[in-house]
Amino acid sequence: MIDDENDEDILNKSVSLKKVMKNILLILLIGVGALFIYLGGENQTTNFMIGFSLICLGTSLIQIQKQKTEPIRQTLTILACNLCNITNVRHYEHGDYVFKEIGSCDKCNESMRIKQIYNVKLKKPTIQTKKSDEKKKKEEEKVKA
């Protein structure tokens, strides 16, 4: 078990090193793009176009990376009863919008409406992914053996 944790530590470190390397490469890409624009040269418009597209590529790749590294965001929907004002919180579902009528109240059977939809940042996801479940099963098997 202890050995397993150490392996994970090393894995995390190499992943973060890869991320740093990628970021450096992207910054270099943008830098080269900027150089093309500043230096100009014989064919200024072509160099400007090359530089501009390099910068665009670099910045959009950084954006994609940021989205991937922040997966732990969750959208929640708050439901409220029309009559007794009881509120219910659940995960956002496709097609949810504010004031949409959804289901009925547990207490008075009056229809419930979506009161608010908001995005929260979480340290850990509340819904466990399949991967972590499989990992747990493996660990349990190891303990048994």
- Nearest distance from residue 112's CB to Zn ion, in Å? 7
User: Which alpha helices (H) appear in the chain, and where do they start and end?
Assistant: 2-39, 44-69, 130-144
DSSP 95-115: T--TT-EEEE-TTT--EEEEE
- Chain residues binding Zn ion by CB under 5 A are 81, 83-84, 105, 107-108, 110
The side-by-side arrangement of strands in the sheet containing 111-121 is 87-91, 73-81, 111-121, 101-104
Q: Which is nearer to Zn ion, 26 or 86 (CB)?
A: 86
Residue identified by tokens 């078990």 is 1
- Nearest distance from residue 85's CB to Zn ion, in Å? 7
- Nearest distance from residue 98's CB to Zn ion, in Å? 18
Q: Which is nearer to Zn ion, 79 or 105 (CB)?
A: 105
- Nearest distance from residue 82's CB to Zn ion, in Å? 7
Q: Which is nearer to Zn ion, 74 or 88 (CB)?
A: 88
